[in-house]
Structure 1
Amino acid sequence: MSVNYKYGNIFVIISSFLLILYFIHSTPVHTSPQTIPIQILSMNDFHGQLNYTDYINQQPIGSASILASYLKQYRIKNSFLVHVGDLVGASPPISALLQDEPSIEMANQLHVDLATVGNHEFDEGIDELKRLINGGYHPSTGYFSGASFPYLVANVLDKKTRKPVFIPFLIRWKSGIPVGFIGVVTKDTVNLVKASGIKQLVFTDESEAINRQVKILRKRGVKTIIVLAHEGGQQNQKTHQIIGPITTIAKKIDPEVDVILAGHSHTELNGIVANKLIIEARSYGTAFASVKLLIDQRSKEVISKHAKIIPTFHTNTKPDTKMKQFVAKVEQKVNPIISQKIGQSKAEISRQENEAGESALGNLVADAHRWAMKSDFAFVNPGGIRASLRAGSITWGDLYTVQPFGNHLIKMELTGKQILQLLEQQFQNPTKKQILKSSGLTYQWRKNTLGQFHILNLKKTDGDAIQPNYLYTVTMNSFLAEGGDHFSIALAGKKRKTGSVDLHALIAYIQHLPQPIQAKIEKRIEQIQD
């Protein structure tokens, strides 16, 4: 009896266990999936602005020490900090005079996890960019250890080997989740920097480069994919629609991409295009983006994604002590140079363009270049003027911030017809006209009902018409003279003579002028309605 009782109990227990297993495997479990939160903090277009402070509604915003404080406050455990291009280049003297090494060191101190390059990282050529990233010697600054984080760039290839110059992608793990990162820079970089510095490189289509890397990541089981793309756009504040090159990229790339961290346009972007979250956070450290992903622990798929842009207002935020001390040390190194007084300004001289594309500062700079080279005319690309001049004392540092690229002035001969063609090239991209700042001439332009642009009444400042077959002397900086910003007509210039660095010409011209100086919009360029 006792034996039969014993085995009867065992039978009941085993039967019950098997029944439980059956229900576990055959009945759906209606519970929410276990998720892993992952955060990405993204900066873009810092441009070496270590001590830059702007004002929005009279509230101070920006600077490296304030940015560092915010990032410490917002960063969580499962977090990545990235920079999306133009960390350096077109920098103020606090960074540029030291070969932008302080900006790389700032990123090291912020514990940036990875980055991609922007077009301005190539301003001094590929060799200097590699030195900044990998470390090396420079005659002006000595040995530099380089960046403590990797740069990802999938669409910059060596012209001879056709292989990527940088790492194209990386896989990083958080709480058992593999996250793939791919970097690209605008393919238009070839038109945005001096050709001589990138002649051994090829910049390929961003979308095609991304898709090649996505295939590799998918084969490795990566289902969370983030793209760092130094390309931008604009967003309508009413409809929230995003337009521009970044949307073209979003629509062409593999649907496996979850997030595109953007840059280049210095705008605020936050929206969905082709089921990809696109986010860009202004520039100069005045904001950063916080992206939050929820990832299914089993499938490794992103099940939700959202982002916000966080402005770095000074209110109720103390500067990070370590970063503040670091910036102060850098300032001490450059202050003896940048604090030299050059002149005095009666009022602010702004680089802000009017509707026609003319600006007061553009006129001043173009006049300086024409004066220095004693030419008939001068043209300055709008991207070559980086900051306005405030009223009051004008220092060497102020002027360096206006013209930080160190381009030489080039005097050449062009016919009147070629000058007209050069001005017509201002409108070759109908969505982004680029009005050259000019000296020595006046003209009008209009857009007709068909969307075509026309140059009218092209004259010298004395009122004489510019003759198509006459030869005129024209001054440009070396970037523009090499056909930069798509101004290919400049390549036709004959009898070229190289002059001083553009900054030196501007300094000499301001010292030459009666003080205090002033500059204004003079209707050198006028827009007329069709």
Structure 2
Amino acid sequence: MPAISQSDQANRSDRPNRSDAGRSRRRTYRLVAAAAGLATVGALAAALPAGAHDNRHGKPLPSRYQDVQLLSFNDLHGNLEPPSGSSGRVTELQADGTTKTIDAGGVEYLATHLREARKGNPYSVTAAGGDMVGASPLISGLFHDEPTIEALNKLDLDVTSVGNHEFDEGAKELARLQNGGCHPTAGCYNDEEFEGADFPYLAANVLDEKTGRPILKPYWVWKKKDVKVGFIGVTLEDTPGVVSAEGVKGLKFKDEVETINKYAKVLQKQGVKSIVALIHEGGQPASGSYNYNCDSSGAGDGISGPIVDIAKNISPSVDALVTGHTHAAYVCTIPDPSGKPRMVTSAASFGRLYTDTTLTYDRFTGDIARTAVKSANHVVTRTVAKAPDMTQLISRWNTLAAPIGNRAIGWISADVPSTGTESPMGDLIADAQLAYGKKLDPETDLALMNPGGVRAGLTYAAKGTEGDGVVTYAEGFTVQPFSNTVNLQDFTGAQLVKVLQEQVSGSNAASPKILLPSANLTYTLDLTKTGADRIVVGSVKLNGTAVDPAATYRVATNSFLAGGGDGFTTLGQGTNDLVGGDDLAALVEYLTANSSAGSPIAPPAANRITVVQ
């Protein structure tokens, strides 16, 4: 079976739009100005009603306005099968103010929904906002996400931006996903060479350090007859802060606004005036319900986060923003620099939603009539028929993955969720890494796990052939898919406290990243205070004893944190480094050693951090 691995512009030329394949070339409409004072071709086209005819040929003239359907989604993360637990549900706001949850997601259902949505819409384009791959479940991650690219090809995805997770395995692997070819170490699967994506990945703000040029195409133009819409794709500028150093080696990530504005001018010079930005950065809506009215009080009032400032500064020449990264669901208008409302959307994550946006194209100006833009998120329900081609795809890859994925690695007595300020799943991983660290070096004192590395929880009654409470390797892989290593480093007590303070200060001040501690580390998080003061210094205790600022402590973390990832710069300053083995292997070993069918492991109580609110 293949190995599991983590996280020059090499593009194929623009392919023809699928909806036009096999059809005649785009018709050019020629209008003759009438003698009655209509001086220009544009004036005549605007004056004629829809359905008017060219008298010379008896053919209908196009109407001035053409609705273009933009279908979009983001943050799929290789979730080909329906996600389980809370990852596979969305919250819907009801008319009476209550909410209900709906099971959602799964590429078999996503394909059906998108295909149904396209019916009756000959001018339809499908785009995505990044993180199509990376941190993927075993069915995709085990095969370096080739199954997901294959599925996206079948979904008729037209274009996507890169996201941070597209760099989990580095720029060379991203180029392979775009262009095809067998994996350099795992080789080919099924004796077939991987064909790559037949849609362009856009990376306008990701530059090769040596050449200063984008590593992939910065923009792409969708064309349908006389209608043209340009797409610019960027990922968040802080990608190096959320991806391993190896994954972004040799790359520069530029400012999102500066980059989009630059290429908007390029598109305009080429005569493309209708422009959509695909941005792998997002915000947080005021409600967790996917159908929440984001503009209930006014444009931009229902959303916060990085995307707000980005949207307010992107050139007015850009007509709509498709965003992602935060896994939130929203359809909002945010004022552009001229004060004019502009649509900003995100479709949650894991294929649970898709966004249907109507862009009204003005043939007279070649631009989008923004006052007519409409948008809504739709649930990818599981009540529709499965797309047979996707079922076949999933079955084929599951057959390859089954010998590894179905192996039992442990037993749990109840669900182990990955949500909350202190998640039980994160605590369990920290305990596993401490146990593994002690095997490497008995002097290991504690372990810390980053919340972003906990991709899912464990479900007691998981779907599949195994019995209730059984944890399979596939489930473990879904929890920890990055193939990080468990690293040991020495820190002073003062440094350890500073690490905890970095959870809620510096780059993490606005959006705290609470580390998950092993069971022997406890402290108080006081949310009534601000910044670093939220960590009550005297409360930081190891095995019940206050941490000594001058003492040395041996700390186990994954390699991402050991490199200073997620804004934890102090964790990148440890000494006496020791690089261990795979972090998933550490979890597997811990579950196998500490659970059985007759004595399953219980979810951690998540009481290591005392939160004051």
**TM-score, normalised with respect to structure 2:** 0.80
Residue 105 of structure 1 corresponds to: 150
Residue 331 of structure 1 corresponds to: 398
* Residues 36, 137 of structure 1: alpha-carbon distance in 2 compared, 3 angstrom cutoff: same
TM-superposition CA deviations, 1:228-267 (whole Å, max 9, x none): 1011101224663222111111111110000000111111
CA contact (8 A) 1:296 1:302 kept: yes
Residue 528 of structure 1 corresponds to: 612
Residue 298 of structure 1 corresponds to: 364
CA contact (8 A) 1:287 1:311 kept: yes
CA contact (8 A) 2:497 2:540 kept: no
Residue 117 of structure 2 corresponds to: 74
User: In structure 1, what is the Cα distance between the partners aligned to 2:428 and 2:308?
Assistant: 37
TM-superposition CA deviations, 1:254-313 (whole Å, max 9, x none): 100000001111111201112221011011111111111111111112122111111111
Q: Cα distance, 1:23 vs. partner?
A: 5.4
Residue 352 of structure 1 corresponds to: 419
Residue 509 of structure 1 corresponds to: 590
Q: Cα distance, 1:21 vs. partner?
A: 3.5
Letter matched to residue 521 of structure 1? A
Q: Is the partner of 1:307 in helix, strand or coil?
A: strand
User: In structure 1, what is the Cα distance between the partners aligned to 2:533 and 2:180?
Assistant: 48
TM-superposition CA deviations, 1:32-85 (whole Å, max 9, x none): 772111111111100000112424556432111110011110112111111210
CA contact (8 A) 2:502 2:532 kept: no
User: In structure 2, what is the Cα distance between the partners aligned to 1:449 and 1:433?
Assistant: 13
Residue 373 of structure 1 corresponds to: 437
CA contact (8 A) 1:99 1:141 kept: no
Judging by fraction of residues, say which structure has more strand: 1
User: In structure 2, what is the Cα distance between the partners aligned to 1:322 and 1:30?
Assistant: 47
* Residues 519, 118 of structure 1: alpha-carbon distance in 2 compared, 3 angstrom cutoff: same
Residue 14 of structure 1 corresponds to: none
Residue 319 of structure 1 corresponds to: 386
Residue 236 of structure 1 corresponds to: 286
Residue 16 of structure 1 corresponds to: none
Q: Cα distance, 1:502 vs. partner?
A: 0.5
Judging by fraction of residues, say which structure has more helix: 1
* Residues 527, 221 of structure 1: alpha-carbon distance in 2 compared, 3 angstrom cutoff: same
Residue 433 of structure 1 corresponds to: 512
Residue 578 of structure 2 corresponds to: 497
TM-superposition CA deviations, 1:156-197 (whole Å, max 9, x none): 001111111111112222230221110000011111111122
Corresponding residue to 2:332 among 260, 271, 279: 271
RMSD across aligned C-alpha pairs, in angstroms?
1.9
1:169 aligns with 2:248: no
Residue 158 of structure 1 corresponds to: 208
Size of the aligned set, in residue pairs, is: 506
User: In structure 1, what is the Cα distance between the partners aligned to 2:578 and 2:37?
Assistant: 87
In structure 2, runs of 5+ residues without a counterpart are: 1-33, 50-62, 91-99, 288-292, 296-301, 336-340, 439-443, 461-468
Residue 8 of structure 1 corresponds to: none
Matches within 5 A, 1:13-412: 21-22=35-36, 24=38, 34-53=64-83, 54-56=88-90, 57=100, 59-75=102-118, 76-138=121-183, 139-142=185-188, 143-237=193-287, 240=295, 241-274=302-335, 275-303=341-369, 304-315=372-383, 317-353=384-420, 357-374=421-438, 375-391=444-460, 392-412=469-489
* Residues 212, 435 of structure 1: alpha-carbon distance in 2 compared, 3 angstrom cutoff: same
| More deviation, 232-241/335-344 | 232-241
User: In structure 2, what is the Cα distance between the partners aligned to 1:79 and 1:455?
Assistant: 51
* Residues 422, 499 of structure 1: alpha-carbon distance in 2 compared, 3 angstrom cutoff: same
User: In structure 1, what is the Cα distance between the partners aligned to 2:587 and 2:529?
Assistant: 40
Q: Cα distance, 1:455 vs. partner?
A: 1.6
Letter matched to residue 169 of structure 1? Y
| More deviation, 231-240/195-204 | 231-240
User: In structure 1, what is the Cα distance between the partners aligned to 2:204 and 2:573?
Assistant: 34
Matches within 5 A, 1:470-489: 470-489=551-570
User: In structure 2, what is the Cα distance between the partners aligned to 1:422 and 1:189?
Assistant: 21
Letter matched to residue 335 of structure 1? A
1:465 aligns with 2:510: no
Letter matched to residue 500 of structure 1? G
Q: Cα distance, 1:132 vs. partner?
A: 1.2
Q: Is the partner of 1:480 in helix, strand or coil?
A: helix
Q: Cα distance, 1:368 vs. partner?
A: 0.3
CA contact (8 A) 1:409 1:478 kept: yes
User: In structure 1, what is the Cα distance between the partners aligned to 2:195 and 2:294?
Assistant: 47
Q: Is the partner of 1:167 in helix, strand or coil?
A: coil
User: In structure 2, what is the Cα distance between the partners aligned to 1:221 and 1:367?
Assistant: 58
Q: Cα distance, 1:451 vs. partner?
A: 6.1
Whose Rg is larger? Answer: 1
User: In structure 2, what is the Cα distance between the partners aligned to 1:367 and 1:292?
Assistant: 50
Residue 524 of structure 2 corresponds to: 444
Q: Cα distance, 1:314 vs. partner?
A: 1.5
Q: Cα distance, 1:22 vs. partner?
A: 4.3
CA contact (8 A) 1:42 1:289 kept: yes
Q: Is the partner of 2:319 in helix, strand or coil?
A: strand
Q: Percent identity?
A: 38
CA contact (8 A) 2:334 2:342 kept: yes
* Residues 405, 307 of structure 1: alpha-carbon distance in 2 compared, 3 angstrom cutoff: same
* Residues 445, 58 of structure 1: alpha-carbon distance in 2 compared, 3 angstrom cutoff: closer
CA contact (8 A) 2:524 2:609 kept: yes
